[in-house]
Structure 1
Amino acid sequence: MSLLAGLKILDFSTLLPGPYATMMLADLGADVIRIESATRQDLVRSMPPLDEDGLSATHGHLNRSKKSMTLNLKLEESKEIIHSLLQEYDIIIEQFRPGVMERLGLGYEDLKKINHGLIYCSLTGYGQTGPFRNRPGHDNNFLALSGVMDYSRRKEGVPPTMGIQIADIAGGSLHSVIGILAAALHREKTGEGQHIDVSMTDTAFSFNAMYGPGYLVKEVEPKPEELMLNGGIFYDYYETADGRFFSVGSLEPQFLKLLCEALEIPDLFQRALSEDTLDQQSFKQKVKDIFLSKSFEEWLGVFNEDFDGCVEPVLSFAEAAEHPQIQARQMVVEVPKSDGTTQRQIASPIKFSTAHPVYSHVGAGLGEHTEDILLARGFTAERIGEWKEKGVFS
Structure 2
Amino acid sequence: MAGPLNALKILDFSTLLPGPYATMMLADMGAEVLRVEAPDRVDLAKVMPPFDGKFSTTFSYLSRGKQTLQLNLKQPESVEKVKELVKDYDIVVEQFRPGVMDRLGIGYETLKAINPNLIYCAITGYGQTGPYKDRAGHDINYLAISGVASHCGRADSGPPPMGIQVADVAGGSHHAVMGILAAVIQRQQTGQGAFIDISMTDAAFALNAMAGAAALAGGQPQKPEGGMLNGGTFYDYYQTSDGRWLSVGSLEPQFSARLCDTLGLSEMKSFALSQNPEHQQKLKDAIKEKIGAKTFADWRATFAEVDACVEPVLTIEEAAEHPQIKARGMVVERDRGDGVGQRQLGINLSLR
| TM-score of the superposed pair, with normalisation by structure 1 | 0.87
Deviation of 1:312 (Å): 0.4
Supply the distance in 2 between the matched residues of 1:336 and 1:75 (Cα, whole angstroms): 32
* Partner residue in 2 for 1:78: 78
| Residue 55 of structure 1: how far off its partner (Å) | 2.6
Query: Which residue number corresponds to residue 40 of structure 2?
Result: 39
Q: Does 1:126 align with 2:129?
A: no
Structure 2 partner of 1:379 = none
- Structure 2 contact 239–245 (Cα < 8 Å) conserved: yes
2:69 corresponds to which residue?
69
Contact (CA 8 Å) 2:60, 2:336: kept in 1 or not?
no
CA contact (8 A) 2:158 2:224 kept: no
Match in the other structure for 1:382: none
Alignment of 1:206-221 (within 5 A): 206-221=206-221
> Distance between the aligned counterparts of 1:148 and 1:293, measured in 2?
34
Larger displacement relative to structure 2 (335-344 or 181-190): 335-344
Report the equivalent of 2:88: 88
SS in 2 for 1:113: helix
Q: CA deviation at 1:341?
A: 3.4
The corresponding residue for 1:23 is: 24
Name the structure 2 match of 1:369: none
Q: CA deviation at 1:188?
A: 0.9
Question: Closer, same or farther in 2 for the Cα pair 1:140/1:339, shift >3 Å?
Answer: closer
Could you tell me which runs of 5 or more consecutive residues in structure 1 were left unpaired when the two chains were aligned.
Answer: 354-394
Matched, 1:244 2:259: no
What letter matches 2:240 in structure 1? Answer: T
Q: Is 1:346 equivalent to 2:340 in the alignment?
A: no
Larger radius of gyration: 1
Mapped contact 2:29–2:349 kept (Cα < 8 A)? no
Partner of 1:112, secondary structure, is: helix
Q: Quote how far apart the aligned CAs of 1:49 are.
A: 2.0
Summarize the Cα distance change of 1:144–1:338 in structure 2 as closer, same or farther, 3 Å threshold. Answer: closer
- For residues 223 and 333 of structure 1, the distance between their equivalents in structure 2, rounded to whole angstroms, comes to 39
Instruction: Quote the residue 2:193 is aligned against.
Output: 193
Closer, same or farther: CA 295–338 of 1 in aligned 2, 3 Å: closer
Identity, % of aligned positions: 55
The residue type paired with residue 308 of structure 1 is: D
SS at match of 1:141: helix
Cα separation, 1, equivalents of 2:172 and 2:164: 13
Structure 1 residues 288-331: Cα deviation after superposition (integer angstroms, max 9, x where no partner)? 11111111111112111x21110000111111111111111121
Match of 1:247, SS? strand
Distance 1:351 1:195 in 2: 27
Residue number in structure 2 paired with 1:385: none
Q: Indicate yes or no: 2:283 matched with 1:283.
A: yes
Structure-2 residue corresponding to 1:3: 4
Q: Secondary structure at the match of 2:73?
A: coil
Q: Does 1:156 align with 2:150?
A: no
Map of 1:376 onto structure 2? none
Gaps of 5+ in 2: none
Distance 1:339 1:222, change over 3 A: closer
Q: Secondary structure at the match of 1:312?
A: strand
Report the CA distance shift for 1:339/1:36 in structure 2 as closer, same or farther (over 3 A). Answer: closer
* CA displacement 1:31-65 (0-9 Å, x = unmatched): 000111011121111222222x3232211111101
8 Å Cα contact 2:329-2:348 kept in structure 1: no
Following the alignment from structure 2 to structure 1, what is the Cα–Cα distance between the partners of residues 265 and 219? 38
1:132 CA drift (Å): 0.4
Cα 1:44/1:326, change in 2 over 3 Å: same
Aligned to 1:300: 300
Query: Given the two structures, how large is their TM-score scaled by the length of structure 2?
Result: 0.97
* Aligned residue in 2 for 1:270: 270
